[in-house]
């Protein structure tokens, strides 16, 4: 009985991000900067080299959660492992400024 109440309460709370926010995504391997347009215009920086496994960092503003999911799906389709996803900041418009 308590489970149904919890599920109902959880369904009523929406955690969707529907405003622009800054994200950083770390993936394993090298990703060419030419993919930036397909990945919501995020900047692409690769670290690591001969002695270490390369890690690519994507960073930029994502307009909403559906675009974020599109970026993650594209990375998955390309065969990259997502190592880290970080929500950095939200746009000041979301705060009412």
Q: Tell me the domains of the chain and their CATH numbers.
A: 18-95 (3.30.70.2040)
Rounded Cα distance, 85 and 97, in Å? 26
pLDDT exceeds cutoff 90 at 21: yes
Q: What is the pLDDT of residues 27-39, one digit of tens each?
A: 999 999 999 999 9
The reported pTM is 0.75
Rounded Cα distance, 3 and 90, in Å? 33
The pLDDT value recorded for residue 89 is: 83
């Amino acid at each position: 009985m308590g489970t149904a109440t919890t599920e109902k309460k959880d369904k009523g709370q929406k955690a969707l991000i529907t405003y622009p926010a800054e994200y950083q995504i770390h993936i394993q391997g090298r990703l060419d900067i030419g993919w930036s347009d397909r990945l919501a215009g995020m900047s692409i920086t690769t670290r690591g080299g001969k002695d270490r496994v390369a890690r690519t960092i994507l960073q930029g503003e994502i307009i909403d959660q559906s675009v974020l999911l599109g970026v993650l799906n594209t990375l998955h389709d390309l065969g990259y492992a997502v190592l880290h996803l970080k929500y950095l900041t939200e746009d000041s418009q979301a705060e009412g400024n």
